[in-house]
Each structure stands twice: as structure tokens, then as C-alpha cells.
Amino acid sequence: MGRLFGTDGVRGLANDKLTAPLAMKLGAAAARVLVDHEGKGNRRPTAVVGRDPRVSGEMLTAALAAGMSSQGVDVLNVGILPTPAVAYLTDAFGADMGVMISASHNPMPDNGIKFFAAGGHKLEDYVEDEIESFMLELPEQGPTGAGIGRIIDESEDALERYLSHLHNAVPTPLDGIRVVVDCANGAAYKAAPSAYRNAGAEVIAIHDRPNAFNINEGVGSTHIEVVQQAVQEHGADIGLAHDGDADRCLAVDSEGNVVDGDQIMAILAMAMKEDGELKKNTLVATVMSNLGLKLAMKEQGIVLRETSVGDRYVLADLRAGDFSLGGEQSGHIVIPEHGTTGDGTLTGLSLMARMASTGKSLGELASVMSVLPQTLINVPVADKSMIADSPQVKEAIAAAEEELGETGRVLLRPSGTEELFRVMVEASDSTTARRIAGQLSAVVAQV
């Protein structure tokens, strides 16, 4: 059996790989490990639990809560909220741990379990390993009587606390800005439109009617074309697209052009530098970020640090270096002063605040960065662990890199959550990028 935790918690097909008994064991083991790490002595330990609207979330919430309460942990159920809201509330409530039940941008049948340590921080690998190990050693009997944890409904107050936090983080009035927001029928269906309206924007919310089955279904940040069309139809100044758990945000300008996570980071980095808020003049991104971001930051006198792919690695580098901005091309943007993980709604507010303070359109702001043509192909594979060591794949990569020289780059990596291998090629023109990416994908598919 492989490692249970992936790059972003435990994820899989709900009631198949990710079952209620597994969730109950995970909850119990995580409760024991994380409370021990906190060392709260005789104080009653607590956990914050939230979820996105997908149907299996109800089942998994009940199982996790049962597992945690069986180990003497009081569970504060905050209901349907974005992942960053659960991380924030874990800190705000002074809880020992937090749990978000969501498969993010994955389709409805999937689900996932993400754990946060005290303070709302994602877990280190060694802590996840401890939880996995403890699952095999769970005692048959936990505390009894008054030692059993309670399950408490905190959903009524949780959203307002999160909205107040967002308003304090970005108090700039957004009056006069018309925004289309695609909520992906997901966890932000209330939070994102409310936050933007509270700031003064004119909000046109779409796909804000989750029914437990329609999350991410042809909408949200993985289907940006829907927002492009809506921006044009409504004459909006900006479009924002969130994913199922709203830790991502992608944008569209008034002309319908996509503004991805790299461009968003460029805009926010310049704003923070001007305001003296960009610590050490440094932006943290991943190796997947476009070469154009590095060139733009160099021109602005901003250092770009690169990490492995995954927001957990960006977060780790931000904390280790005490930096103030980081993120991914996919739209995971982290501003540590205001959050411990990517926050799509905070990102949307920050983008619109920059528009309001400068009087510039999103298109003008995004023009600071020229995007090199980049092609990304997700190749379904039987066993992603075999691809990197394949002689055929290594030979194909070497040939591609020789052809591109210094005018582009190649990056192949396994998905952290699915049986896919991602093939990314950057080149000076889109035709070359597509051709080489197609050639490499064909080789990967044959392994």
C-alpha cells in the first residue's frame, strides 16, 4: 500500500477509496497526533471542521467528527465554507487542529480531507506520516463518560467571522467596479459574492446554486471560458473564477483576456513593493510559473524564488524565509499577513483594490508581464511512478531541450492527486510549444 497522504491531504473517489470507516480512523488518529503535538495539557482539545457542498461531504463530516470526538476532541462544525476560511477559523478559535473536506477542483464523485495544525497551517510530511502510522495502532477503546468529545454547530457565526476578516485585510472601497464571480457551485457560493459586495463592488454572481451534485461541473476556475463569456455579456470590469473550495482565483479582464496566477502575482508583487509590504523584495512561485514572470520581476527589481510544484512547498518557503507573497500559476495565491493558505476571495479583493487605487483596468495592470506561449497536457497513465525513470521519456526530454535551447523549457511531473503525468513546454511561439508537448505526451502515454 502506498502513502495515504498526497500533495494536498487524502483524496479519492468517495465511498470507494475514501470511505466513511477510513475517514473515522483518520479523524481519530489525527486527533491523537495533533493534540499531542500541541501539548495543551488538561485543556479540552478542539477541532474546526468545514466542507464544500458535494454530497459525500455530509457522510465524511459525520465520520471524521465521530473519529475525533471518540478521542476526546470537541468538534466545531462550521458547515460549508472555503478552505481558507477553515484555516482562518482554526486559528481564530484557538483550535488544536482544523479539517477541510473537499476535493478542490476535482469532479463531484471525488472528495478529499485536508488537515491543518494549530494556527491554520498545513501539516509537515512527518506529521502526516505519524497520522498514517497511528491509524494502525489505534486503541480499541477511547475515553468514556465526560471524556468523550462533543460535536458543536458553529456554522451560524463562522461565515460572518470570515467576512469580517476579509474586510479588515482589504479595506479599500471597490465602488464603481463591476465584477462577475463564478463560484463553481462550490464552497464560496455565499462567501465570495458577500465579500465583494461588502467592499462596494457591483457583483454578478454565477454558479452560486450548489445542489450537492453540481460542484465544478463545467464551471469555475477550470472552465475559465464561462467567465470570459459572462464578462462580455454583462460589460463587467473584471471576472473572477474560483474552484470548488475557493483557495484559487483566476481572473478575466474587461476584454475577456485571461489573467492567470502568474500575472496576478506580478500585479500584487508590484503593488506590495510600492507600498513597502513586499518583504525582502521577494516573490515565491513554483517551477511551473511562466518564464515571463521571472523576466518581469527582474525588470522590476524583484527577486523570484522557485519551489517544487504544490502550494505546500510555496507555503513552506514563505514561512522559512519570512516572505510576504507567493503562489502558483493555477491561482493559489498566498499572502501570509492575512492567511495561512491560498485564499481565492482574498486574491479577488486584492486585485480589485489595486484597480481601485490606481484607476487602471485589469488589462493595463496585467501588461507588466509578457506571457511566453506555454502548453500543458495531462496524460492519463496506468502508473505515474514509472514515467520519470523511463529511458524513452528521458531521451525524448533531452531531444526537446536541445531543440529549445535557451528559448524555452520542458517540465514533466506526476500529478499529486490523480493518475496523470503533466507535460509542460514553453517556447518562443505557441506552434513549437504545442508540437513538442504533443511529442512528449505521446511518448509518456506509451510507457
| Inter-axis angle of helices 56-69 and 20-38, nearest 10 | 40
Q: In 10 A of CB 315, how many CB atoms?
A: 22
Q: In 10 A of CB 138, how many CB atoms?
A: 16
CA 247 vs CA 53, 121, 327: distances in Å? 15, 14, 11
CA dist 333 and 347 (Å) reads 7
Of the listed 56, 102, 104, 194, which one is catalytic? 104
Give, for 422, the enclosing helix (H) or strand (E): strand 420-426
Known catalytic membership, residue 104 = yes
What is the four-CA torsion angle of 341, 343, 344, 348, rounded to 10 degrees? -130
DSSP track, 83-102:
HHHHHHHHHHTT-SEEEEE-
CA 402 vs CA 126, 214, 361, 398, 423: distances in Å? 39, 45, 40, 6, 17
Q: Given the C-alpha cell 497511528, which residue does it identify? A: 134
CA dist 377 and 420 (Å) reads 10
DSSP track, 261-330:
HHHHHHHHHHHHHHTT-SGGGEEEEETTS-HHHHHHHHHTT-EEEEE-SSHHHHHHHHHHHT-S-EE-TT
CA 423 vs CA 291, 325, 401, 432, 436: distances in Å? 16, 27, 13, 14, 10
Q: Which three cell numbers stand for residue 51?
A: 466542507
β-pairing, 326-327 vs 333-334, is antiparallel
Q: Which three cell numbers stand for residue 155?
A: 456554522
Taking alpha carbons only, the member of 156, 158, 146 closest to residue 74 is 146
Taking alpha carbons only, the member of 385, 389, 400 closest to residue 441 is 400
According to DSSP, residue 386 is labeled: G
Active site residues: 104
